Structures are given as C-alpha cells and as structure tokens.
Amino acid sequence: MDQNNGNLSHVQRVVLVLSGKGGVGKSTITTELALALRHAGKKVGILDVDLCGPSIPRMLNVGQTDVHQCDSGWVPVYTDAQKSLALMSIGFLLEDPDDAVVWRGPKKTAMIGQFVSDVAWGELDVLLVDTPPGTSDEHLAVLENLKKHRVDGAVLVTTPQAVSTGDVRREITFCKKTGVKILGIIENMSGFVCPHCSECSNIFSKGGGEELAKLTGSVFLGSVPLDPLLSTSIEEGKDFIQSFPDSATFSAISSISQTLLSSLQTA
C-alpha cells in the first residue's frame, strides 16, 4: 500500500461537510459535531480545507501552532491530551493569521492533494472534512483525492430561508453527479434561544431544511438554534458540549451526532 493510502488506511469513516453558500455556520457545525462525537467516545479528526477562511483552529482554541513532520507526513494538531480530536488546517501554515490565501486554482488543488494524502491521522473513527462553500474546483480536488481511499457521504448545512435552501439544492445535485451519498441535512440558525428565559423565537423562517429533505428524499438530521451560549463558546474556543450539557442546543447537537453515527454504521 502506498503512503498516500496508508495515511487514511486506519480512518474508519470519512464525512464531507458541505454548504451551498457561505455564512450558514458550516465550520461551527463541523466543530460541534466533532466535539459531540468525541464525547461519545469516538476518535475524531477534522480536515479544514476551507483555504480562504480557516476558522476551526480558533474555534478549538489551538491558535497558531507549528505543524511537525514524521516519516508518514504532517502530524495533525491534537486538541486534547488524550489525542481523541485531531485537526489539520491551512491556518497552521500561515505565518500571520491575518494573511490572505491569494492562490490560483492549481496551487489550491495541489495543497488540497497534500492535505488529503500527507497527514498522518493514525487511527480515527470519523474524519470530518470542512469544505469551502459552493461547488468549486476545491470540492472536486477533495473528492478526487479522497475517493482514492473512501468517502462515506456528505452532511449538508443550510439555514431555514429559501435563499439558502435553494443553494443547497445545487449542492445536492453536485453530490448526485459526483456519486457522493447524502447522509443528511442539518438546519442551522433555526430559531433564537433567549439567554434569559431559554424560549426559542424564529428570527428567520423555520423548517426550510426539513422541507428540503422531504422534497429531495434526504434524511433530515435535525436543527440547531442560534444560541448565545454556543456563539460565546465558539468565540472563546471553549467546549460547548462539555460546558452546557443541560441546554436545548446541546440536546440538538447530541441527537444529530447520534443519528449521523447510526447512518455511518449502515453506510
């Protein structure tokens, strides 16, 4: 087995996290799913290939960290002493966190190829791949490189409004054309949780993600509300799942992660 396949040979499941447009909270969902899966006893990795907006290092409070190399390639950055959550991001390779990634397509494609093949993940139960928004060359590069190993499917993230669900329809078409199984749709920002009384109000419309799942024959994994506690945790790089186990948002994320695990076991 060559080195490229070797680095993914002990990864049990590979899941893409996709969105039709930017700003729907895809990286937040990726981070919270990873934390929920870790708390469920799984060893998890995140491959952050959102080259122009690598925000997950901040969300997991790992900041500017030097990436080391071993015989098999790059060593991922571990967020905990138990090494149960591993991360690789373009953010680690930038000298300054304010640097912009101004690269043409071929250089981006080459970097994604390296990210997919040259990270020594070791044993993982689930690898989540946080992709850029839309359907671009980067997505094709991710798929072409991952399919040499395996892709178990994709989770699609949307917000409730029609303008967002319309873009996710195109993402569903992309998955079907490229042969990627749709594991389910998550509706993010589904209502606002009041920090005082915990009542949930629908700032945007509601139910767009669930309706889209029905129309397209996809699994609806669940909805996650706008929660100030979650927003603060993300900003400060804290583990929301650990900090607020009694919140409705925790229940939503935990339920989604369990449904996803069940889908992966039958994938």
Q: Annotation-wise, does 197 bind a ligand?
A: yes
The encoded tokens of residue 206 equal 């509601």
- Cα separation, 243 vs 36, in Å, equals 12
- Cα separation, 102 vs 233, in Å, equals 30
Q: Annotation-wise, does 20 bind a ligand?
A: yes
Residues whose CB is less than 8 angstroms from the CB of residue 24 and which lie 6 or more positions away in sequence, other chains included? 133, 157, 158, 159, 164, 188, 189
Are residues 33 and 125 in contact, defined by beta-carbon separation less than 8 angstroms? no
Are residues 143 and 178 in contact, defined by beta-carbon separation less than 8 angstroms? yes
Q: Annotation-wise, does 108 bind a ligand?
A: no
The encoded tokens of residue 148 equal 């040499």
Q: Annotation-wise, does 163 bind a ligand?
A: no
- H or E element in which residue 220 lies: strand 220-226
Q: Annotation-wise, does 176 bind a ligand?
A: no
225: nearest Cα among 128, 160, 168: 160
Q: Annotation-wise, does 22 bind a ligand?
A: yes
- Cα separation, 2 vs 117, in Å, equals 10
Q: Annotation-wise, does 73 bind a ligand?
A: no
Q: Annotation-wise, does 27 bind a ligand?
A: yes
Q: Annotation-wise, does 194 bind a ligand?
A: yes
Q: Annotation-wise, does 255 bind a ligand?
A: no
- Cα separation, 110 vs 121, in Å, equals 19
Query: Which residues are annotated binding-site positions for ATP?
Result: 20-27
Query: Which residues are annotated binding-site positions for [4Fe-4S] cluster?
Result: 194, 197
Query: Which residues are annotated binding-site positions?
Result: 20-27, 194, 197
